[in-house]
Structure 1
């Protein structure tokens, strides 16, 4: 390391120690401090690691966690950024915080914000890119899905030898000719699919052929624009899949079972979208030499991570916090709630900070009307934009006179404790979720705060 990098690393590590041992938090400041002293400190910190970059609109945090867990089964200690702080300063913090333990291979699995892929790639020289999906998200930051992919491709082009491990069911990921080695994963559950000729629902984004702009058709659709696509006009179609989901045998709000390569796997989370995350992790792990049995063992150990179906027990209530941030993700979560057999209370927390996306119009693309209102015994609305969310739910058919509307997060906890149901599902944007977790931490319900 250069003298500048040594100083930056020392300052970053010292600030991390102080924040986490004295103030009990801090996921980006140490990295920000180190980068201020040496903008290229990440290159020095990551030079001895084989780095895997995980990016895409939805599922980055869960996919990163699953990949990390699977690689641990074979290689031991793995460096990662588990907090979901996925911009450059958060990634630098992950390296500063990591105390290398016994490992047979120095691997780093990094969740990276789509707009930061190029900046991070310039410094860590990745071994692989894992691409989850691209949906409309935070238009103020990313623009349309095509500009989002351009940002990712700009980073990939800096690492032409890195393997691309991509969702083959997303038509955009095979649309650009890149020299990198490529493997694709996807759903292959419909044995009669060659006879199907389907179109995605109206208003679905990303259904134009990337080659000729004709409307794509599908042999099978998993959700949104994902599936076995083909263009009847120019012949563009889904690439051959290396790793295939063959069967889904169980889906509940808290558990999914599925088959890959003839072997059944299970993870203790719900949602079709999380099957894609698990499939991405499976594909990445197999590319790095992890066996199917080791992957199954890792999936069985998977713990719910903060804000992604995180389960909190409070005042006799079972509270499930689920991050929502865009129409596709929201609709998949609403589909997840439709698999709940018991009565429950629903909370919706809406903020509009930079990390959430300042435009909240996306909530109107969420199909709240699909919810079984007979199973929802209480509705609670909070966050800085609680009026917007309350009005959206009123339009969806929920009685405004029976809603609890509470902008104070401390009072939200009191409202949760008084719900008539044991189960509470909280749908929350990112900064509202962080604020809620901080309140839980301050009350000793959670062990630490996420800042």
Structure 2
């Protein structure tokens, strides 16, 4: 290790200690500082790690958390980036925080932003890639779905011997050949039934002949057992299969993967995919079903992913939303709730959210109008846009409040007529709300 690397690590660790000790921060700045001193610092920090990279549009954070929980049942040291700091500087900060003296085998399970993957793989060599899905998201940053897919395929190509575990139900992951070998996970839980996806769905054209894809089973959006009736393009054989959905509600799910029964303590089909993806990694490393089961049952809610917060007796479920497909899955999950609830929808349009908010018009907000929600609050920097979308969706104006300031939103939550509240928020709105809730003592970690 050269003098520059020593200085970079020392400066990064020192700034990390100061920020964590006095400001409860330090997820990105220490990495940014270390990179400024030594742009190749990742090469030094990541040496000797078995690195698993998780990337894709939706599900990265929870999939990463579940994967870490499972691998920790089997291995002594598993490093990760739990705050969701998934760009280059955040990855460096993660390695700066490592405490692994005496570990026989060191794992790093890293959530990495799609656009950052090729920059990160210049300096680290992953041993396994996990691709969750590709949906339209923050088009000002990523462009169309095929542009996003090229970004992650090019990033993976820097480690050509590392297999890619792909969501086999997603047609885009079977659309082009890759240098990396591929394995596929997916759903085989229902009998075949001829059907087509909803007309307002991306990624439905066959990549070989551009005919509209047909399906024999659909889970949601463009995911399922697809095939092209005009050529031989079809879903590949699955290496890891979910074969039965035993039960699912808004807070949990039970299912069978490769003849083993598992459960998770979060609801919604999209979260079952996250569990299936994490299980695929575990099976790749030979983890037993018993240990997988223990890892999946870990009930610590991940930042903004059905995180429950008690605000003066109101049980609030905080959920990050950032694109139409993810929003629609959250709405479907909310529809499974056996109790009445109020709704808070917070919309920001900062760089980390995506500055284009037109995506809210593709989300099925109309479903809210069928749920008889007694009170709906629109907030955030773009509260006017959110309020308009909800009005057009059919939310009665008498039930809708427009509250720009998040401290005022928290005050209003205390007065809603239900004991349960769902808070849907874009990324920076989640950060701002959690900061306010922490300052007021409702969040203590």
- Coarse TM-score class (shorter-chain normalised): over 0.9
In structure 2, C-alpha distance between the alignment counterparts of 1:104 and 1:160, rounded to whole Å: 26
2:95 maps to 95
In structure 2, C-alpha distance between the alignment counterparts of 1:251 and 1:8, rounded to whole Å: 48
Structure 1: state its 5+ residue gaps: none
In structure 1, C-alpha distance between the alignment counterparts of 2:19 and 2:218, rounded to whole Å: 46
1:179 maps to 179
1:363 maps to 360
1:293 maps to 290
* 3-state SS of 1:35 partner: helix
Shift of the alpha carbon at 1:169?
Answer: 0.4
1:274 maps to 271
1:309 maps to 306
1:65–1:82 CA contact under 8 A, matched in 2:
yes
In structure 1, C-alpha distance between the alignment counterparts of 2:91 and 2:339, rounded to whole Å: 40
1:254 maps to 251
Shift of the alpha carbon at 1:26?
Answer: 2.7
Shift of the alpha carbon at 1:366?
Answer: 0.7
- Please tell me whether residue 26 in structure 1 is matched to residue 26 in structure 2: yes
2:301–2:308 CA contact under 8 A, matched in 1:
yes
2:369–2:393 CA contact under 8 A, matched in 1:
no
* TM-score with structure 2 setting the length: 0.98
1:337–1:371 CA contact under 8 A, matched in 2:
no
In structure 2, C-alpha distance between the alignment counterparts of 1:389 and 1:46, rounded to whole Å: 43
1:440 to 423, 437, 445: 437
In structure 2, C-alpha distance between the alignment counterparts of 1:103 and 1:275, rounded to whole Å: 32
In structure 2, C-alpha distance between the alignment counterparts of 1:15 and 1:355, rounded to whole Å: 23
1:395 maps to 392
1:341 maps to 338
In structure 2, C-alpha distance between the alignment counterparts of 1:300 and 1:372, rounded to whole Å: 34
2:317–2:421 CA contact under 8 A, matched in 1:
yes
1:118 maps to 118
Please give the residue correspondences for 1:148-297 in structure 2 after superposition, counting only pairs within 5 Å. Answer: 148-190=148-190, 192-193=191-192, 196-297=193-294
* TM-score with structure 1 setting the length: 0.97
* 3-state SS of 1:78 partner: strand
1:69–1:302 CA contact under 8 A, matched in 2:
no
In structure 2, C-alpha distance between the alignment counterparts of 1:303 and 1:92, rounded to whole Å: 25
2:68 maps to 68
In structure 2, C-alpha distance between the alignment counterparts of 1:397 and 1:98, rounded to whole Å: 50
1:15 maps to 15
1:331 to 325, 328, 331: 328
User: Hey, which bits of structure 1, 4+ residues long, moved more than 4 A?
Assistant: none
In structure 2, C-alpha distance between the alignment counterparts of 1:372 and 1:263, rounded to whole Å: 39
1:52–1:128 CA contact under 8 A, matched in 2:
yes
2:318 to 314, 317, 321: 321
Shift of the alpha carbon at 1:371?
Answer: 2.6
2:342–2:420 CA contact under 8 A, matched in 1:
yes
Deviations 1:191-241 (A, max 9, x none): x31xx3221110200011112211111110100000011111121111110
Structure 2: state its 5+ residue gaps: none
In structure 2, C-alpha distance between the alignment counterparts of 1:374 and 1:327, rounded to whole Å: 19
- Please tell me whether residue 411 in structure 1 is matched to residue 408 in structure 2: yes
Q: Report the RMSD for the aligned CA atoms in angstroms.
A: 1.1
Question: Closer, same or farther in 2 for the Cα pair 1:21/1:228, shift >3 Å?
Answer: same
In structure 2, C-alpha distance between the alignment counterparts of 1:26 and 1:141, rounded to whole Å: 24
1:381 maps to 378
How many residue pairs get aligned? The number is: 445
In structure 2, C-alpha distance between the alignment counterparts of 1:137 and 1:358, rounded to whole Å: 11
In structure 1, C-alpha distance between the alignment counterparts of 2:260 and 2:316, rounded to whole Å: 32
* 3-state SS of 1:64 partner: helix
In structure 2, C-alpha distance between the alignment counterparts of 1:133 and 1:347, rounded to whole Å: 27
2:16–2:30 CA contact under 8 A, matched in 1:
yes
